[in-house]
Chains A and B, each alone.
Chain A
Amino acid sequence: MFNDLTSNESLLPSRRRFLQQSSLGFGSIALASMLNEQQAKGAPATLNPLALRPSLFAPKVKSVIWLFMTGAPSQVDTWDYKPELQKRNGEPLPGSDSKTGFFTTSGKILKSPFDWKQHGESGSWVSSIFPHLSQHVDKMAFIHSMYLKANNHAPASMELMCGDSQPGRPSAGAWLTYGLGTENQNLPSFVVMHERRPRGDDQIWSAGFLPKSFQALTLDARRNGVIDNLSRHTMESAAQQRSSLDLIKEMNQKHAQLRSPQTDLAARINSFELAYRMQTAAPEALDINQESEATKKLYGLDNKTCEVFARQCLTARRLVERGVRFVQIFAGKNAGGDGAVDDVPWDGHNNIETNHRSCGAATDQPAAALLADLAGRGLLDETLVIWGGEFGRTSDSQGSVGRDHNPKGFTIWMAGGGIKGGIHHGATDEFGYKAVEDKVHVNDLHATLLHLLGLDHEKLTYRHNGRDYRLTDLGGRVINEILA
């Protein structure tokens, strides 16, 4: 895209201004210079912006697919088996703490209403709501000791994605795009899919104070994933558009020649060409009709219960296949009738059994299919799949058979490149109430995520209002125990 630039590299503005003004990816430069102390201090970038530079260490994966289980699944009804709960149903919960939860809980143990079995060579326990995912436990590294601070959906979702529960920080997807750019210039690098706007919506996938080039493109399932302004104006043929664009380019080039070199003028000339190509590339990437019937069936597109999530998971695979860096799916709900609110489907305050059964049915098959499909195409080695909600749920009951929010201990799992499969890291107490062993904070999760993509979380920084911000803020430790 910078072909139009003058070849005199010394005329380029400072790195920081460059990052603020330009944009179309090229994170490798951004990263390279971020990892280089001198350049990070704002010295003029004497680089050809197109040149690829080696990152600090070899990345394990190229892309991330984050399956966000909106509303927060209960750890003790999914992946974190606690026989003590089953034995002591209805008894007072030892260590029950009035500060956990968001509303009020009974203080009495509520057993998991589901059947639990061990699966795979790893013998991992999984509840009966995941008949498909349970076949893939040997690919998954479970972190049972996740915790965070916020205990309501929006702030916790922000904390989980942006590292802080106050709005305004950039999300992990924006940081990654800032750090790495995109492999496919014809597609956005950070894509969010949702069926219902989750609580906190734009604030969860925010670019925060990072340049807007790193913001997410959202595909809303309710609108069939349409990208705004992607189709040509109805009155215009392809030939007419091309001829308009040729005119625009010609006039813009003459305009630039009369002025001092400015990267943004050059970048804008190029952005029209890029946009022109996106018109074709993006619909192609999103067109799941190109998939075989067998593939569609694998994901469950023929199954009303899970077809929305199936479409999103299949789309996610098509996107990472084409070089999209970060895809995040907020699980919506297409099975209903258990009292949970649509924008937080897993939020089983009233009845954990009916709620989780229906949420399981809506997500299990597509998520399992995604793992199988990625593996089958050799893509799982270069993709990281993350499954989890914004927090966990209480081991004591809310009402008689519901569970309240619990940010003090919950499970997420990761699968894919660089991940040790079938292992269980960290633990909650015997009731699954609090993380007690090898506790993992969101910052640690992010540090690990960046590490897998070849980034050092302490070096990926951005200066804003007088401070060098990091995704991991002041914390973060790579969880080496789960790395292959």
Chain B
Amino acid sequence: MPVANRAHIFSVSLALIAMALCPLAMAADALPALSPEHLAFFESKIRPVLAEHCYGCHSAQAQEKGKLKAGLFVDSQQGLMSGGETGHALLPGKPLESLLIKVIRHEIKDAEMPPKGKLPESVIADLTKWIEMGAPDPRLAAAPVAKAKRTIDVASGKDWWAFKSLTQPNLPAVKNAAWVHTPVDAFILAKQEAVGLTANNVTSKEKLLRRVTFDLTGLAPTPDERAAFLNDTSAEAYSRLIDRLLDSPKYGERWGRHWLDVVRFAESGGYEFDGFRPGAYHYRDWVIKAMNNDMPYDEFVRMQLAGDQIKPGEYEGASAAGFLVAGPYPGQITAKTVEKIRYDQLDDMVSTIGSGLLGLTMACVRCHDHKFDPLPQRDYYGIAAALATTVHSPSQIDLSYVETQKKLAVHNQIGAPLQAALKKFETEELPKRFDDWKRDQLPKLQSTAPWQVFDIQKATAQSARLITDRDGHVIYTGNKAKDDTYTIKVVTHQKGVRAFRLDALSDPTLPSKGPGLSDNGNFVLGDVKIIAKPLDAKNKTKPVTLKLKAAQVSFEQKNFEFAKTVDNNPNTGWGVAPQMGKDHAAVFAIDGETAGFDGGTEFEIQLRFSNFFGLGRIRLAFNNGSALAQIADTEDMQNLRELRALTDTKTVSSSMTRWFSRFDERAQELTAAVTEHERKRPQPVLTEVYTTKNGGEDVFFLRRGEVDRKEGKASPNFIQVLMRSSDAEKKWVPTPEAKQPAVHPRLSLANWMTDAQAGGGPLLARVIVNRLWRQHFGRGLVPTSNDFGTQGEKPTHPELLDWLASELIKNGWRLKPIHRLILLSSVYTQSGDVNPTTVQRDPENHLWAQRPARRLEAEAIRDTLLQLGGKLDVKMYGPSETNNESGRRSVYLRVKRSELVPFMTMFDAPEPNQSIGDRGNTTVPTQALAVMNSPFVHDLAAQLLNRIMATKPSGTEEIVSRAYEYALGRLPEAQETQRMKAFIEQQTQLHGNKPDSPTLAMREFCHALLCLNEFIYVD
């Protein structure tokens, strides 16, 4: 029963809810009357066993002790009949189908009962017999009716505040209307007035500048910016400041980093080898750009969920979809682990979508319906199914895809007449010219070399750009990669092919003259595969993969022997170090029958280069003589002998043009025009992006989340409690009957998610405006940023949250207007001055009647230290930086899951394995050690002093002033100046009053400023 058809159960869950209300009646109906024999059997054989082995975990008493397991009670007939979390415990009359019997017979993995060891066979036989009898049980009224199983009621789940439609609250009336600068203030003030709190007044301009500059850019205001703001006495000064900061590209770097916490962004796979993902940074860059461009948040979400579908082939779409694949994923997978890993990967995506976008805890729903929120497993597996065909992939993406497509269209337009001319020639002139040539020239021509060089039909590669020439060369022209496969197609009309020859040619244009593409000219050819197919469509013989032997080779490197090209292990292969800069050749002999079909043969030759670079210049040849040709034997183009083979056929075919063109000027000219044009084919500008790829397979419901316990197949669905209409997801997921064009299920998910009327939009908007509030104030209106469910904290100001969410949607989902509403408000600009009444009445500052100082995050601390030392490198974007002491902003430091940057994690940068909405804010002595002792901070303090000295200050007092201005954004008070002068004096003496002692002392003064709370706690 429990294993039966979970999918079906879900589809009729409402019916089940109704049924669940009357299990007792149903069970009682099904039971036979209790005879004295039955009673005796139960009392002697059954009750003692249940009491001894089962009641410990499955009884009312166990429940009282908190030891109840699986929600199952076996101390009452009702409990047994209604079952636990995993379904009915027994089916009267059907022992073999009863869960009770299955678990005691240890038929269900990890549910072997009792846990302490198997019951004796005789006891199992008794229990089996008892169920066969119909499970007569006298304990009808003996135990309290236990609610063993929780059934999710989605309809009543909608009553939870976060799942309701957005309200459109009116602005509350307030007494102190002067305090209200933006509507935000009205909501805040109304609550304060209700309890008699008075908010603080606006803080000083200096503090405001520092606050908002850090808040929006993560860097300190410069002395120039300070002067400009203080000198601007107009009423719009602050508003203009906000505009400037929101327009600064540093805004995206700061706020993009906040988003990267939410999406567990890292550039490596974690797990076993934590493989680096060179193309992962594009997602980070996309986030920063999107923030700076104020991309509407609904589009921002849609692109992350389905960018690859919205803008297929495009760099932007591929980069944005990096969201889905930013999570951990093992690098070492065997057949034995692949399935678990697949479901873990889906779990990573579903959980991040849940917590990050909707503030819902989805992770636990993998194994069971949510214990607290109205999230049945159907919702989890529905989203998982929408992601079913989404797999991780480092893909080669065209940076200018749209351009390339346009150029291709033009290219094809120009090429069309050339092809038409060739075609015309082939039909109208060729036959006659060929007959003449055959009669006059052919008998005089000779071609007898043992190796015939293939005239290449087509050469492509996964990454490298390859062209061919008329002398049988395949030539690399760009975009090399360490993992690549070259696929080369050649044909012959001859038969009896016994061997292939690969010439790896050196060339002055190649690195170290080649023949390989690595810097030293080497290559590693991992595996070679040759597939033979009949050329003639009438020949129905199936393609064959030829069995190859590594026959001869010019040279082989130690441990990179030629034979490793045919060992079916692409990770081992043939190399030629140290013999680079020379031509090399290798002969693959066919092991077995010679190859060649009637009517001609196409050979597809695959050269796989793995973990190393490939070849720069190649020629391929074959041998069909009576004996195997030797590596030293001569080579000649195949054309003449192809023509001889073809003249045996009655008609002249167009395929002859190709061969014949070598001998006919006109044919050569027309073919060359086509080939020449082909060579100009616009090439994509490829770059590796870590993104999604189509793959994967169906998703099944998993019992307890375990892959070896599959139940029904899941189909794409969304979260029911957030649906506004009765026909649920039909609006977004077209059914086959509806005859609508198929929509990629991830695109449906994205459309549902951002649907502000009927889908996930209202919650999506609430969650993001709350994140903005959280970053501006240090705590969200909902303090649990990632949990809007019943286990999260409720909003302190629900009306304000809904008002902001509505404003967001009204303003086309743009975030910058929301920032502005918040930043211009009195609640944001107020001071942190002590007001004893506020502290006493609202110690946790729920009502925002004061503004506490907040510590900077790890990135802001590091970036500001660099900024003060004049070492900040403002270059944006690009591959991540591996030198932790580089001047790049911290958002560009490499994020490798197994080797996080110590300075960052020390100051609470999160571990990028799960979505994080609220970073910790800890204080530990290792932080103090880092600022006290690290050469990094000391050096930057010394650099700060150098910058001050470069302005030729008049004396110690001015040095102290400047340092305060840089580090703390204000000038020192007279008393502070005196104290600092005394300190410098004292340190100078401790240094022994040597010539450099004053400089060392002033460095220590600068260093001390960087250690102050005032430096890293912003008012």
Which residues of A does B touch, CB under 8 Å?
10-14, 17, 20-24, 42, 44, 98-99, 101-103, 149, 151-155, 165-168, 188, 197, 199-203, 206-209, 211-213, 215, 217, 228-233, 235-237, 239-241, 243-245, 247-248, 250-252, 255-256, 258-262, 264-265, 267-269, 271-272, 274-276, 278-279, 437-438, 458, 463, 465-468, 477
Contact = CB atoms under 8 A, between A and B. Distances in A.
24 contacts: A10-B843, A11-B843, A17-B844, A20-B920, A102-B337, A103-B334, A152-B330, A155-B330, A166-B344, A168-B913, A202-B898, A202-B911, A212-B924, A228-B926, A235-B1000, A240-B1004, A243-B983, A244-B987, A244-B1008, A251-B976, A260-B850, A272-B932, A274-B925, A465-B917
The 5 A-B residue pairs with the shortest CB-CB distance in the complex, in nearest-first order: A466-B787, A168-B913, A466-B361, A275-B928, A267-B923
B437 interface: no
A152 B332 contact: yes
A228 B902 contact: yes
B302 to A, nearest CB: 24
A272 B1016 CA distance: 14
B949 interface: no
Contacts of A202: 897-900, 911
B180 interface: no
Given A212-B905, A269-B1013, A247 B921 contact: no
A268 B917 CA distance: 24
Nearest to B360: A466
B669 interface: no
A44 B1014 CA distance: 27
Interface string B904-921: 011110010111110011
Contacts of B927: 271
B1011 interface: yes
Given A207-B911, A465-B363, A466-B791, A151 B1000 contact: no
A305 to B, nearest CB: 28
Contacts of B924: 23-24, 212-213, 271
A465 B914 contact: yes
A258 B1008 CA distance: 20
Contact of A248 (B270, B908, B925, B1008): B1008
B57 to A, nearest CB: 10
A418 B1017 CA distance: 47
Interface in B963-1019: 976, 979, 983, 986-987, 990-991, 1000, 1003-1004, 1007-1008, 1011-1014, 1017, 1019
Given A98-B336, A199-B273, A248-B1008, 7 more contacts: A10-B840, A44-B843, A167-B328, A167-B913, A212-B905, A235-B1003, A251-B1012
B928 A213 contact: no
B786 interface: yes
Contacts of A233: 933, 935, 938
B363 A153 contact: no
Contacts of B932: 229, 241, 245, 272, 275-276
A262 B922 contact: no
A260 B832 contact: yes
A260 B852 contact: yes
A107 B1016 CA distance: 62
B877 to A, nearest CB: 27
Given A152-B330, A203-B897, A466-B787, A243 B934 contact: no
Nearest to A278: B925
A211 B987 contact: no
A24 B905 contact: no
B116 interface: yes
B1017 A265 contact: yes
B1004 A200 contact: no
A23 B923 contact: yes
B358 to A, nearest CB: 11
Candidate in B348, B355, B789, B1011 with the most chain A CB atoms within 10 angstroms: B1011
B933 A229 contact: yes
A437 B364 CA distance: 30
Contacts of A165: 344
Nearest to A217: B926
B1013 to A, nearest CB: 5
Contact of A200 (B271, B791, B1007): B271
B456 to A, nearest CB: 40
Given A153-B272, A168-B913, A251 B920 contact: no
B898 A200 contact: yes
Contacts of B832: 259-260
A265 B1013 contact: yes
Please tell me the size bucket of the interface on B.
35 or more
Contacts of A231: 933
A24 B272 contact: no
Contacts of A188: 926
Nearest to A23: B922
Contact of A264 (B913, B921, B933, B1003): B921
Contacts of B853: 259, 262, 265
Given A264-B921, A466-B784, A154 B1008 contact: no
A228 B930 contact: yes
Given A256-B1013, A258-B834, A467-B364, A243 B922 contact: no
A444 B732 CA distance: 46
Contacts of A229: 926, 929-930, 932-934
B874 interface: no
Nearest to B784: A466
Interface in B360-388: 360-361, 363-364, 373
A282 B355 CA distance: 40
Contact of A22 (B789, B922, B990): B922
Interface in B311-344: 328, 330, 332, 334, 336-337, 340, 344
A255 B1011 CA distance: 13
B859 interface: no
B770 to A, nearest CB: 14
B736 interface: no
B101 to A, nearest CB: 21
Contacts of B296: none
B695 interface: no
Contacts of A259: 832, 834, 852-853, 1019
B347 interface: yes
A202 B1012 CA distance: 31
B855 interface: yes
B914 A168 contact: yes
B592 interface: no
Contact of A44 (B839, B844, B906): B844
A209 B1011 contact: no
B508 interface: no
Contacts of A261: 839
B117 interface: yes
Contacts of A239: 990
A104 to B, nearest CB: 9
A258 B207 CA distance: 14
A406 to B, nearest CB: 11
A24 B991 contact: no
Interface string B86-115: 000000000000000000000000000001
Contacts of B902: 228
Contact of B929 (A203, A262, A264, A278): A278
A315 to B, nearest CB: 19
A243 B66 contact: no
Contacts of A10: 840, 843
Candidate in A151, A197, A233, A256 with the most chain B CB atoms within 10 angstroms: A233
B792 interface: yes
A152 to B, nearest CB: 6
Contacts of A256: 1013
B898 A247 contact: no
A208 B832 CA distance: 33
B336 A203 contact: no
B67 to A, nearest CB: 10
A55 B220 CA distance: 46
A212 B334 contact: no
Contacts of A20: 920-922
